[in-house]
Structures are given as C-alpha cells and as structure tokens.
Amino acid sequence: MNIREVTDGDFEGIWSIFHHIVKAGETYAYPRDTSKVQAEKIWIKAPRKTYVVEAAGIIVGTYFIKTNQAGPGEHVCNCGYMVAPLARGQGIASLMCQHSQQQALELGYKAMQFNCVAASNTGALKLWQKLGFVTVGCLPKAFFHPHLGYIDAMVMYKWLTSS
C-alpha cells in the first residue's frame, strides 16, 4: 500500500468512498445527501492537505488534515479518515492516522482533535485510543444515528509534541 498526497485525478475514487459512508449517516456529521460538489469542497478544497491510500492502483482510503480552530486555537488540527468498505480490516485507518500525526507535526501543529465521534462507532473509538487519543469529552445526544436515534458523540484529543 502506498500513501500520497491527493492529485487532480483522485476525486472519483474518493467520491465513491465518501458517498457510500456519508449516505449511511452512521459516522460522519455531514448531510447524508451531500453532493459531489460539496464533497469535493469538504474533503479536498477546504482542508489544508488531503491524502489517499492506494493498493494496486485503486484508492482504498483517504484522509484530510485541517486547522480545527483559528487564531489562539490554530495549533490544534482536525482530521477525517475514510476507508473503502471492501478494504476494511487491513489496518488502513491505523496507517492513515499514524501518517496524519506525522504530517501534523511537519505542518507545525501541536495537537489533534476529533470533534464528533459517534458513540456507536466503537471500532474508531478503540483504534484512536490505541493510537494515543484520549476521550476528553462526551456530548450527550449530539449525533442523530439513522437506526439508534440520538446518541452521544465523543471529543477525542492528542497532544502530539513533547513541548
């Protein structure tokens, strides 16, 4: 597997993953009917950097990195990660999260924050914890899950530097 920065021809591959995951409405706080144009803005244009993971020339994962709050909060970044449904269980999310922490440091960030991890997304919660993130907050009923209704959302955080 190869991880690299996004290029012009990558959006079709990203969109097929994005659309599948966001349409389900179970993990990401984006509208379930997010359009292709909006998705490109969210995932590629608005963030500071976007990366893709390729296996045999196919995009199997993607993540972005952006500044979470401006000014006095600009040393904290935020990332979003997506893995193609057929490529789950191969450590791609873990690979991307580790890569993103390194990129964050290179971009000058000191910490990384996930703002809204659905409590039902136990796979993600466990993985981020394993990779050093701490659940620093719980937002009661902040996420509307299509099958479970209003569920809690977690705020996760990791200080990345030793300084």
List interacting residues with a second copy (CB under 8 A): 22, 25-26, 28-32, 34, 69-76, 110-111, 113, 115-116, 118, 136-146, 150, 153, 155, 157, 159
Cα separation values, 33 from 29, 38, 61, Å = 12, 10, 21
| Pick 1 or 161: Cβ nearer a second copy | 161
Residues 6 or more apart whose CB falls under 8 angstroms from that of 102 comprise none
| Pick 65 or 87: Cβ nearer a second copy | 65
Residues 6 or more apart whose CB falls under 8 angstroms from that of 11 comprise 40, 44
Closest approach, Cβ 90 to a second copy, in A, equals 26
d(CA 147, CA 83): 22
Closest approach, Cβ 15 to a second copy, in A, equals 17
Closest approach, Cβ 137 to a second copy, in A, equals 2
Closest CA to 121 of 42, 24, 37, 27: 27
| Pick 87 or 153: Cβ nearer a second copy | 153
| Pick 8 or 33: Cβ nearer a second copy | 33
The SS3 assignment for 102 reads helix
